[in-house]
Amino acid sequence: MALISRRDAGKLLIGGSAGLLAVSRKGWSVPYIDSVVRGVQIGAQSYSFRDMGLDACIEAFKTVGLGECELFDGHVVPSNVKWKEQEKWWISAPASAFHDIRTKFDNGGVRIYALTYAFRKGVTDAGIEAGFKAAQALGVKYITSSSNVSVAPRVDQYAQKYKIMVGFHGHDDTRDPDEFSTAETFARAMKGASQYIGVNLDIGHFVAANGDPVVYIREHHQKIVTLHIKDRRKNHGANLPLGQGDTPIKEVLCLLRDNKWKIPANIEYEYGDDKHLDTIAEVKKCYAYCREALES
């Protein structure tokens, strides 16, 4: 099998190539895990493995068979750094810290597609820029972010500077107009913004906020950075195993497949916190559900 560059391997992976891709870097080769199903990249938000440290998380990706990662910031910041000290940590962290994380994922055959970084109210300009510097050091072109609508214009300034696209992540809090939740909140953030401001659509949360992700994706697929695949009930209902809630997961995945829209569909396992389920086993079930939907 011919050796190709990391950049070219990434392009092929998201483009739906079959089989494992051998990649080269200074004399060694590691296969990327191929979790593309019928042209749709299935990966995971590493928050799914939040009960594990970074090394165990990478092993979990390998065990499940997922080759694409949306990197949860909790797998980046050292565990001994307190919440109130995290912005300071991001600002002072050397680029080598992020290079080391990227190398670990590369060695595991898992591609980091995006970094998750929060741009919440109260973040300083230095704190905003630190997120873009981290993404740059990781070698990714996308940030996904739980944020506030009012912070979007400040974030856009740095997104344009670093040419890194930000996908704002929604939840289901429709009471606060400054929280991302509905189509209208995303529209306000993107109004007048640059091409670097987009959406990280969590289809479960979107349904819990009584939105229709199929309609939204049809209308706004060009602005969607990644999808989060989870299942929830409408009207702020509970997280449930895939297929047991109101979220049209199969319809969404087939929409990507049939239209050849290259949007990573990242599993976000969230329903088992109160039941102490086996994380790897549950993510395997989620992956199997997605594969079955796409192969139907």
Q: Please report the pLDDT score of residue 28 as a whole number.
A: 46
| Residue 18 burial by Cβ neighbours in a 10 Å radius (0-12, 13-18, 19+) | exposed
Ordered by start, the domain boundaries in the chain are 39-295
CB 12 within 8 A of CB 21: yes
Q: Please report the pLDDT score of residue 30 as a whole number.
A: 77
- 263/284 Cα distance (integer angstroms): 21
CATH code, 39-295: 3.20.20.150
CB atoms within 10 A of CB 9: 20
pLDDT tens sequence across 8-43: 434 433 333 333 333 334 444 678 899 999 999 999
pLDDT tens sequence across 62-72: 999 999 999 99
Confidence grade of residue 273 (pLDDT, cut at 50, 70, 90): confident
Summarize the confidence of residues 105-126 as an average pLDDT.
Answer: 97
- 38/40 Cα distance (integer angstroms): 6
pTM: 0.90
Q: Please report the pLDDT score of residue 54 as a whole number.
A: 98
Q: Please report the pLDDT score of residue 29 as a whole number.
A: 61
- 28/75 Cα distance (integer angstroms): 26
Residues present in the chain in total: 296
Closest CA to 34 of 17, 49, 46, 48: 17
Q: How far is CA 249 from the centre of its chain?
A: 16
